[in-house]
Structure 1
Amino acid sequence: MNPCDLTAMDARQAIARKDLSPVEYANALIQRTEQVNHAVNAVVAHDFDQLLDESRKAEALVTKGGDLGPLHGLVFAVKDMIDVAGLPTTFGSPLFAKNMAANDDPMVAAMRAAGAMPLGKTNVPEWSAGGNTRNAVHGVTANPYDLSKTCAGSSGGSAVALACGMAPLATGSDTGGSLRNPAAFCSVVGFRPSPGVVPGEKRGIAALPLPTPGPMARTAADAGLMLSILARPDRRDPYTAVIAGRTLWDPSGFAKLKRMDLAKLRIAVTEDFGFAPTESIVRSTFRRAIETLSPAFRQIDETTPDCSGADRIFSVLRALMFLGNHHKMVIETPDQVGPNVTANVAEGLALDPLTISDALTRHGAYYRAWQAFFETTDYILCPAVTVSPRPWTELYPAEIDGRATSSYYHWLAMAYASTLAGHPSITIPCGRDDKGMPFGLQIIGRRHDDHGVLSLASELEAVIGGTSTLQNPRPNLAALQSAPPLKEAEGFWNFG
């Protein structure tokens, strides 16, 4: 097997056994990136000489027999929203096109301290606003299963890099599904942890935990391994509980997922949470998947938490976030800001105090309704995204099955349903839809049951892997290698 296609767990064990050299591994990942990245435009900045230098140091430590970190010799891709020293951090914004990072983000520093090495930066929508990875700095990132389709977003570049075997691990972040949506479209894993598990020490509105960083990988176990490093104490995030220098959760436990008896679980299933504009092809694909998976569980009920007001709550809270973070640049440099960010700032400016107060109050009731629901339910299974992958030329789905969407983010409702409640959620690959595109299954657990969500995901991966009708696709690497550069495609630079 090509080292690029090893799981992170397998690669780490091979390095420890001296069956795989960190230099050999880094070279293989660099070669894979150089072979296929032109077709998908996932990695938008890198320093391969630096990576090789770090890999030689990693190999020397293995040879010497020194203590190896839990990620020693592994390579990870970094979403272009966080800093890697010596590489640009553009946020997909023309205003920061030449912004070079002097230091590592704390998340990157933690990964390095555990022995991992950055491959490079991955593409995002401008300021991670939207579910289509395209911007005026780096252009479009394409879906590796169909180069005319979107890879979703906002962690789209990370998802594509994983799917193509450029790296076994990648960083991401999630507000309205930015970890989970691209994972679904690219047949990889994206995990949104409970607020505070991975510190969001730079979150603009610290008291509003809609956005959170999180891991992406090709398996749930690999995501857990990465989470064991990212889930660190940091008092700068008010949702990261730190007592005597330790968090309330055991980070190392995420790297050792326990077996779970599916026959004891009470599962809720829903196609739309009662409000999401879910496409018919997604509904039918989900129903087939549940029909196959349901015999493994003790109980399956078609039901949902009360999600009354979800669209309105999310739109108000999201607008407040963008207003606080981006109002100044929209006012001072409107020609340098894209339509999604501009629209969100306009939404924020139109809000009045009573509307904001009402949304905040409804948010509290929404959260409590979810807690009541989980008193009699262990986990929720649902689609990750409301639509099958669509052309990347479409900024966002303006309609779904003939019905108009209400905003550029309305189609992300399957993800922000659980975001609003603050519950951990993971997307895992679950076969293909009727168009032959990857389908993502979303698993949602109780607040702070992050370990349980990862463990259930790992169990279901085994079930899916043993079921011919649900086996997961892999990109056609030969076709990607021979494809023309994506930058030559019409509309590549049309980010508006």
Structure 2
Amino acid sequence: MQDDEITGLSAIALSAAIHEKRISCTGVMQAYLARIESFNPTVNAIVSLRDADELLAEAAVCDAELASGKSRGWMHGLPIAIKDLCEVKGIRCTYGSPLFADFVPDKDEVMVARVRAAGAIVIGKTNTPEQGLGSQSYNPVHGTTKNPYDLSKTAGGSSGGAAAALAAHLLPIADGSDMMGSLRNPAAFNNVVGFRPSPGRVPTALKPELFVSRLSVLGPMGRTVRDAAALFATQAGHDPRDPMSLPTEDLTPREGRDFSGARIAWLGDLGGYLPFEPGVLELCRSALPVFERIGCKVEETVPEFDMADVWRAWTTLRSWLTANAMRDAYDDPAKRAQVKPDIIWEIERGLDMTAREVHFASKRRSAWYQHVLTLFERYDYLILPSAQVFPFDATTHWPKEIAGRRMDTYHRWMEVVIGPSMAGLPVAAMPAGFNDRGLPNGIQIIGRPQADKAVLELALAYEAATDWLDKRPKL
């Protein structure tokens, strides 16, 4: 195989080629390193790249193991770069912040250990916004990640480096995390698949805030649903170190499931509540006939809930968690000076929160969850756009206005992803096509609580009925 053929294979197909010995792990590593050398300087998706000789030596060990009849798992010899918010033993983890520019962890996060055990070779990290806050992957340590479909545009975030690396074929598979759309917004901006699992599906090391309010989850990204589902199956499963970890179960989606009569609700702009850049809502709406072609019944509905209440509850919890997580850095003037203004705003807002305000936000979150359950009495799935804008200028930190409506915070322009996050629902971010400028956007396929497998099954059927994932950027 030529290098472009190798890097063009899906992760599942690449795994099969390795195990059938049609290509060596060393050949795979060489092909990806060559592509990274050619395109990463402009895309800037992969950071803290390890030494090539070390990586090739690890690939050679994988080849020797296969020659002796041993495979570590389906990821045997596959290169992966871990999001730079997740700790990997021996590889710098900067969190996109000068405060951690030289931090090298001495242990793997649970998810990383599982990926390694399945045979993957960790080649480095993927870029992210500072501390993962904001859906634009720029930071003072590694710079800005560009969108492979238009290098003047953002790749989104906070899993922007992961999504861009997949779109540019710098990686066959990637991980990410999602608190406020960080697996969904960049998937839409880069024409790849992102999957936000149910909280507790992918365990993580215990952090103080996780017992109080799990808003953020770890999850997979891929160039295909099958790839993302395979990585998810590797990431997921109970771990006693995570007190909210769900029991291990078979999460592999069935292909070819019959969706005749499945009921889908199109939530659109939530009855005019959300503003959208011209063309986004229309593009996402044009994807609805795909569901009808596979047998689903689609109708438009609007939640009978005050969505501004959901936003207020979200911002309260977000600021409160951020303030407590970063209090030590804020209290040190020298460190505070190295933190971007948006984070300072978030911290200072959170420090002013009272226990009563946090409790009320939690009550409103619970009320929203209960309302969502009533929607699922009528529908099997909910559909929303994944982003309210198309990829924007990479030099712009965040959109200040959408369709004439001012965005009053650095993350207001992403409000469309808040509902599923606050309800803890599984969501597959899938492509919806491209606008006349060649910029992608996508939709969220949202399922019932803990119905991760069912969401992936509908995503598989949707993918099979479209060809959007076949379109590659012209780098």
Q: TM-score range by the shorter chain?
A: over 0.9
For residues 471 and 190 of structure 1, do their structure 2 counterparts lie closer, same or farther at Cα, with a shift above 3 Å needed? closer
Q: Would you say 1:313 and 2:317 are equivalent positions?
A: no
Match for residue 238 of structure 1?
Answer: 243
Match for residue 20 of structure 2?
Answer: 17
Match for residue 39 of structure 2?
Answer: 36
Contact 1:224 1:257 in 2 (8 A): no
| Residues in 2 aligned to 1:269 and 1:4: alpha-carbon distance in whole angstroms | 36
Deviation sequence 1:168-192 (CA, Å, 0-9, x none):
1111100000011111101111110
Q: How much does 1:293 deviate?
A: 4.0
Match for residue 261 of structure 1?
Answer: 258
Stretch moving more, 288-297 or 49-58 = 288-297
Q: What letter is aligned with 1:451?
A: K
For residues 248 and 37 of structure 1, do their structure 2 counterparts lie closer, same or farther at Cα, with a shift above 3 Å needed? closer
Match for residue 129 of structure 2?
Answer: 125
Secondary structure in structure 1 of the residue aligned to 2:204: coil
Match for residue 5 of structure 1?
Answer: 8
Match for residue 221 of structure 2?
Answer: 216
Contact 1:431 1:473 in 2 (8 A): no
Q: Would you say 1:272 and 2:266 are equivalent positions?
A: no
Alignment of 1:345-494 (within 5 A): 345-465=347-467, 473-477=471-475
Contact 1:430 1:472 in 2 (8 A): no
Q: What letter is aligned with 1:226?
A: L
Stretch moving more, 293-302 or 260-269 = 293-302
Stretch moving more, 391-400 or 59-68 = 59-68
Q: How much does 1:52 deviate?
A: 1.2
| Residues in 2 aligned to 1:339 and 1:237: alpha-carbon distance in whole angstroms | 32
Match of 2:49 among 37, 46, 50: 46
Stretch moving more, 428-437 or 190-199 = 428-437
Q: What letter is aligned with 1:231?
A: A
Deviation sequence 1:188-211 (CA, Å, 0-9, x none):
111100000001324441221100
Q: Give me the identity figure in percent.
A: 38
Q: How much does 1:277 deviate?
A: 2.7
Deviation sequence 1:257-297 (CA, Å, 0-9, x none):
34321223101112223433322321111122224543433
Q: How much does 1:220 deviate?
A: 0.9
Q: What letter is aligned with 2:282?
A: S
Deviation sequence 1:298-331 (CA, Å, 0-9, x none):
3111014445211101101101110110122122
Q: How much does 1:248 deviate?
A: 4.7
For residues 103 and 92 of structure 1, do their structure 2 counterparts lie closer, same or farther at Cα, with a shift above 3 Å needed? same
TM-score (norm 1): 0.90
| Residues in 2 aligned to 1:154 and 1:220: alpha-carbon distance in whole angstroms | 20
Stretch moving more, 259-268 or 12-21 = 259-268
Deviation sequence 1:62-116 (CA, Å, 0-9, x none):
1111244122121212111112222210001101111122222221111110111
Structure 2, gaps ≥5 residues long: none
Match for residue 168 of structure 2?
Answer: 164
Q: How much does 1:471 deviate?
A: 6.4
Contact 2:283 2:433 in 1 (8 A): no
Q: What letter is aligned with 2:261?
A: K
| Residues in 2 aligned to 1:442 and 1:62: alpha-carbon distance in whole angstroms | 39
Secondary structure in structure 1 of the residue aligned to 2:195: strand
Match for residue 297 of structure 2?
Answer: 299
Contact 1:432 1:472 in 2 (8 A): no
Match for residue 83 of structure 1?
Answer: 87
Q: How much does 1:237 deviate?
A: 2.5
Match for residue 249 of structure 1?
Answer: 249
Q: What letter is aligned with 2:317?
A: L
For residues 248 and 228 of structure 1, do their structure 2 counterparts lie closer, same or farther at Cα, with a shift above 3 Å needed? closer
Q: How much does 1:441 deviate?
A: 1.9
| Residues in 2 aligned to 1:451 and 1:313: alpha-carbon distance in whole angstroms | 29
For residues 471 and 93 of structure 1, do their structure 2 counterparts lie closer, same or farther at Cα, with a shift above 3 Å needed? closer
| Residues in 2 aligned to 1:459 and 1:407: alpha-carbon distance in whole angstroms | 37
| Residues in 1 aligned to 2:81 and 2:133: alpha-carbon distance in whole angstroms | 20
| Residues in 1 aligned to 2:95 and 2:290: alpha-carbon distance in whole angstroms | 41
For residues 350 and 233 of structure 1, do their structure 2 counterparts lie closer, same or farther at Cα, with a shift above 3 Å needed? same
| Residues in 2 aligned to 1:38 and 1:68: alpha-carbon distance in whole angstroms | 32
Q: What letter is aligned with 1:218?
A: R
Match for residue 482 of structure 1?
Answer: none
Match of 1:188 among 180, 192, 197: 192
Secondary structure in structure 1 of the residue aligned to 2:299: strand
Match for residue 98 of structure 1?
Answer: 102
| Residues in 1 aligned to 2:207 and 2:218: alpha-carbon distance in whole angstroms | 10
For residues 273 and 112 of structure 1, do their structure 2 counterparts lie closer, same or farther at Cα, with a shift above 3 Å needed? same
| Residues in 2 aligned to 1:238 and 1:302: alpha-carbon distance in whole angstroms | 38
What is the aligned length?
Answer: 465
Match for residue 483 of structure 1?
Answer: none
Structure 1, gaps ≥5 residues long: 242-246, 478-496
TM-score (norm 2): 0.94
